[in-house]
Amino acid sequence: MYRIAVIGDSDSVLGFKSLGLDVCPVSNAEQARQAIYRMAKENYAILYLTEQLASQLQPEIARYKDALTPAIILIPGKEGSLGIGMANVKNAVERAVGADIL
């Protein structure tokens, strides 16, 4: 049985607790990095990560990009979307096709 976790600053992620997801409130990028490494070893299938943290954790995200689990999915934090999630979709297209054709 796999689990789902949400990583981000506490104001952004607290609400997910009511859905029954594992919430991991962190206050800086270092804590988030530790949390990602720990959860990747345990049986977490999906990690939702706020974009605010993701902007500082590019190497960690890239590391798990080609792995089957966990899927690290970026969500906007409470400050709003930074467009990193969308940019990643664009990057995937560029990687596959060689040019952004969408």
Smaller CB separation from other proteins, 33 or 78: 78
CB 23 within 8 A of CB 16: yes
CA distance 45 to 59: 19
Tell me the C-alpha to C-alpha distance, in Å, between residue 8 and each of 5, 15, 36, 94.
Answer: 10, 11, 11, 28
35-64 positions binding other proteins, by CB under 8 A: 45-46, 48
CA distance 81 to 75: 8
Q: Exactly one of 9, 12, 54, 60 binds other proteins (CB under 8 A); which one?
A: 12
* Residue 99 near other proteins by CB under 8 A: no
Question: What does the binding site for other proteins look like in residue numbers (CB under 8 A)?
Answer: 1-4, 11-12, 14-21, 45-46, 48, 65-66, 68-69, 71, 73, 75-78, 80-81, 85-86, 88-89, 92-93, 95-98, 102
